Amino acid sequence: MALSQKHRSTIYQRLEPILGEEEAEALLAQFPDHNLDEVATKEFVRAEITGVRGEMSELRVEMSELRVEIASVRTEIAEFRTEIRTEIADLRTEMHQLVNRLFVGLTGVMVGVGGIALAVARA
């Protein structure tokens, strides 16, 4: 319950000589000095509701913008995946070509070495 100014003054005047000025003020600070039983007016409630509705509307706009940004990021990720897969496929193709060239080269060397060995053996 809130204390009226008259009651606060009386209590302070009686406590101050016993407790001292600071302590009496500290004790009275623990009690509200206005009436908390005041009812909110319709205008106040309407204004608060309007404010909340405005904030909610702003949040909806921000959420919509965020959804667009997320969709854009998803698209970029999908494009990146496609690029990576293409690069990997190209690397595999190059590796197969290099292995084939190496095989052909080694085969040629083996044939050449075999021919030399045969010539040496016949000589």
Question: Does 22 share its domain with 69?
Answer: no
Pairwise CA distance, residues 93 & 79, whole Å: 21
pLDDT for the residue numbered 37: 56
Question: Which whole number is the average pLDDT over 66-89?
Answer: 98
Question: Does 64 share its domain with 107?
Answer: yes
Percent of the chain with pLDDT over 90: 62
Question: Does 69 share its domain with 100?
Answer: yes
Question: Does 68 share its domain with 34?
Answer: no
Cβ 32 vs Cβ 4: under 8 Å: no
Question: Does 105 share its domain with 45?
Answer: yes
Domain span including residue 4: 1-38
At residue 29's C-alpha, the angle toward residues 25 and 33, to 5°, is 115
- Read off the pTM: 0.48
Each residue's pLDDT tens digit, 21-64: 999 889 888 877 665 556 778 999 999 999 999 999 999 999 99
Percent of the chain with pLDDT over 70: 92
Q: How many domains does the chain have?
A: 2
Question: Does 58 share its domain with 9?
Answer: no
Question: Does 24 share its domain with 84?
Answer: no
**Which pair of structure tokens corresponds to residue 94?**
């190059």
pLDDT for the residue numbered 36: 55
